[in-house]
Amino acid sequence: MGPSNKAFDDNDIFNPEILKIDERKYLGTFVPNVRILLEDGSVEDLYSLIKEKPTILLLSYYTCEGTCPVRVDNLKKLIQKTSLKDKDFRVLNLSFDKRDTLETLREFKKLHGPFTYHWVFGIIDKKSIHELTESVGFKFFFVERDKTFVHPNVYIFLSPEGRITRYLYGVKPSERDIRIALAESTQNKISLNSVIDLAYLVCFTYDPSRSRYVVNPTLLFGGIGFSALGLVILFALLMNKFPKKEV
């Protein structure tokens, strides 16, 4: 029996399986050329913004008090502290919240900037939100009780032609992963993720009261089982490498 398609169960507990992205379905496909309202009030086509350079697409919302600003801040710090140069690629941050405005966009940039001009922030209308998120397999749900969105933590890589080439999960990517993903995007090469990468999508949740990421308790025991298997394999390899000496 496959995972449930319901976002919440009968006890109003969120089902994290629903956030998983079917990479085999979306990798290699093209995102729609949606119209984007920029900070200065001008409107640009998505394709005109990403042409000639690989692009890291961040889907977030500007009033988020959880992982959205963390993903942005961590990527910005990574670029600043390493040999990655954002002049060689573009970062496109778009809101999936139809309530976002240029005012909330500017406030977000003010709180988390400054950004170089290679970072582009924008908002899109309701129809474009649906088209773009559907095209990349990005699912999000509004929790009325908490007045917040539940959504994947993912960096989406696009080729200069608008093709989806890679997904990186989590909120703190490594320089190596970013560099490889950008090179693949430049070459129009697509790459599937491993199970370990997917774990970053569903196994962690942000706890504002503790200002940290905590293991999702609904998946804790499944994670322990997977980790235990890894330890058994590691032990077997070590025993094989260092056989017991005969006396």
Q: Which fold has domain 16-216?
A: Glutaredoxin (3.40.30)
Q: If pLDDT is split at 50, 70 and 90, which confidence band does 26 have?
A: very high
Q: Which of 194, 163, 193 is nearest to 26 (CA)?
A: 163
Average pLDDT of the chain, as a whole number: 79
Strands 90-95, 119-123: pairing kind: parallel
pTM: 0.75
Q: Please tell me the predicted confidence (pLDDT) of residue 50.
A: 95
Residue 228 has pLDDT above 70, yes or no: no
Token look-up 């430049």 returns 186
CA–CA gap between residue 221 and residue 204 (Å, rounded): 13
Mean pLDDT within 123-148: 92
C-alpha dist (Å) from residue 156 to 89, 136, 159, 166, 219 = 13, 8, 10, 6, 24
Q: Please tell me the predicted confidence (pLDDT) of residue 60.
A: 95
Q: Please tell me the predicted confidence (pLDDT) of residue 217.
A: 45
Q: Strand, helix or coil at 206?
A: strand
Q: Would you say 96 and 133 are in contact if contact means Cβ atoms under 8 Å apart?
A: yes
Residue 15 has pLDDT above 90, yes or no: no
CA–CA gap between residue 203 and residue 199 (Å, rounded): 6
Tokens representing 119? 């970072």
